[in-house]
C-alpha cells in the first residue's frame, strides 16, 4: 500500500542536507520535510542531556507535520538520543551511525577502521560500541574529532590550502594507524571528500554516513510498505519543504552549498515553535 506522507529529516543545522540530498536521489517520489535547528546548533559541543531534549523536540515537531518516518541526519543526535538509551517515538526514527558502521565493516580488509566526527559524536563512543557490536573484537576502531571541519564547510571552504593543512593535522593519527576504511561521521564531511581522500590516500575507502543512512531508509520504506509511489510523478517534481529555527535567509544561503538550485529563499520557513512542540 502506498503512503504519500513525507519523510521528516532533522539536523542541528545544514549538514543533514547531505542526507536529504541522498534521499532525493534514491527516492525521487518521496517528499522531504527538513528541519534545521540552526538557532540552537551545532549540537556537537553541547551536553548529551541537552542534545536529547532538543532531539525529542525536533522529532515531535516533525511528527506534527504528519511524517511517516523521521531521519536523525545528525551524528551527535543519533549518539545521544538513539543509541545507548534510545528515546521512544510513535514513528520509526532512523539514525546515521549503525548503517555507516555496517558498510565500513563490509568494506574493510585489514579490520582497521577510522571514524571522524564532532567532539560530541567522538566522546559519546557510540561508534566504538557499534563497531564492537557489529564487527566484533577483531575490528579495531581509531577515532578522531575534527571540529573545525564543520566551520570550514559552512564558510564554503572545501579546497583551499588552509583546509588541506587542517585536514593533514586531523588525519595524521589515522594515516599513522594505517586504517583502510574511514567513516565520515558527520553529515558536513561529504563536502570535504576530495581533500580527505587526498590526505588519506587512494587505497582508503571513505564511508559517508549520509549515503549509508539514505540506503537504510530506502530499505525500511520497502520492508514496511511505506513507499509513496506518487502516480505519474517524475524525478524532481516532488515539492520538498525546509524549515529553520534560526533566520530562514541565512539557512537558505548556507543550504545552497549542499543542495544547489534545488533550494530558493522562498522555500525556507521559520520554525520558531520547535521548542514548544510536544
DSSP-based three-state secondary structure for 145? strand
- Fold (CATH) for 7-95+212-276: Rossmann fold (3.40.50)
Residues, the chain: 278
The stretch 16-36 carries a mean pLDDT of 94
Which of 216, 221, 245 has its CA nearest to residue 31? 221
**Residues in CB range of 50: below 8 A, 6 or more apart:** none
Give whole-number Cα distances, 150 to 28, 134, 155, 192, 205, in Å. 28, 28, 9, 10, 21
Cα 131 to the chain's mean position, in Å? Answer: 18
Rounded CA separation 243/58 (Å): 11
Identify the pLDDT of residue 171. Answer: 98
Give whole-number Cα distances, 182 to 81, 93, 175, in Å. 24, 25, 10
Domain ranges in the chain? Answer: 7-95+212-276, 97-209
The yes-or-no verdict on residue 32 having pLDDT over 70 is: yes
Q: Give the catalytic positions in this structure.
A: 74, 186
Q: How do residues 164-199 score in pLDDT, each as one tens digit?
A: 999 999 999 999 999 999 999 999 999 999 999 999
> pTM for the complete prediction?
0.90
Residue 85: pLDDT band (50, 70, 90) is: confident
Cα 182 to the chain's mean position, in Å? Answer: 15
Rounded CA separation 107/183 (Å): 11
Domain 97-209 - what CATH class?
Answer: alpha beta
Helix (H) or strand (E) holding 213: helix 209-223
The yes-or-no verdict on residue 277 having pLDDT over 80 is: no
Same fold, 7-95+212-276 and 97-209: yes
The stretch 113-124 carries a mean pLDDT of 94
The stretch 94-117 carries a mean pLDDT of 97
Amino acid at each position: 500500500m502506498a503512503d504519500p506522507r513525507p519523510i521528516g529529516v532533522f539536523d542541528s543545522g545544514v549538514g543533514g542536507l547531505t542526507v536529504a540530498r541522498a534521499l532525493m536521489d534514491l527516492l525521487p517520489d518521496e517528499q522531504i520535510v527538513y528541519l534545521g535547528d540552526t538557532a540552537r546548533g551545532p549540537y556537537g559541543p553541547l551536553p548529551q542531556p541537552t542534545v536529547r531534549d532538543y532531539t525529542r523536540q525536533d522529532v515531535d515537531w516533525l511528527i506534527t507535520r504528519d511524517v511517516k518516518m523521521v531521519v536523525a541526519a545528525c551524528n551527535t543526535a543519533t549518539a545521544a538520543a538513539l543509541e545507548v538509551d534510545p528515546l521512544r517515538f510513535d514513528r520509526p526514527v532512523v539514525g546515521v551511525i549503525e548503517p555507516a558502521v555496517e558498510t565500513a565493516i563490509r568494506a574493510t580488509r585489514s579490520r582497521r577502521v577510522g571514524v571522524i566526527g564532532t567532539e560530541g559524536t567522538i566522546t559519546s563512543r557510540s561508534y566504538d560500541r557499534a563497531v564492537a557490536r557489529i564487527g566484533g573484537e577483531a575490528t579495531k576502531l581509531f577515532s578522531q574529532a575534527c571540529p573545525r571541519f564543520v566551520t570550514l564547510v559552512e564558510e564554503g571552504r572545501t579546497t583551499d590550502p588552509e583546509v588541506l593543512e587542517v585536514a593533514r593535522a586531523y588525519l595524521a593519527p589515522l594515516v599513522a594507524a594505517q586504517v583502510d576504511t574511514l567513516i565520515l561521521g558527520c553529515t558536513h564531511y561529504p563536502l570535504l571528500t576530495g581533500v580527505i581522500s587526498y590526505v588519506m590516500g587512494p587505497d582508503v575507502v571513505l564511508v559517508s554516513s549520509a549515503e549509508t543512512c539514505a540506503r537504510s531508509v530506502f530499505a525500511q520504506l520497502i520492508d514496511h510498505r511505506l513507499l509513496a509511489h506518487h502516480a505519474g510523478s517524475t524525478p524532481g517534481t516532488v515539492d520538498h519543504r525546509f524549515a529553520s529555527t534560526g533566520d530562514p535567509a541565512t539557512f537558505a544561503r548556507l543550504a545552497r552549498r549542499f543542495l544547489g538550485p534545488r533550494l530558493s529563499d522562498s522555500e525556507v520557513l521559520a520554525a520558531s515553535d520547535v521548542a514548544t512542540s510536544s
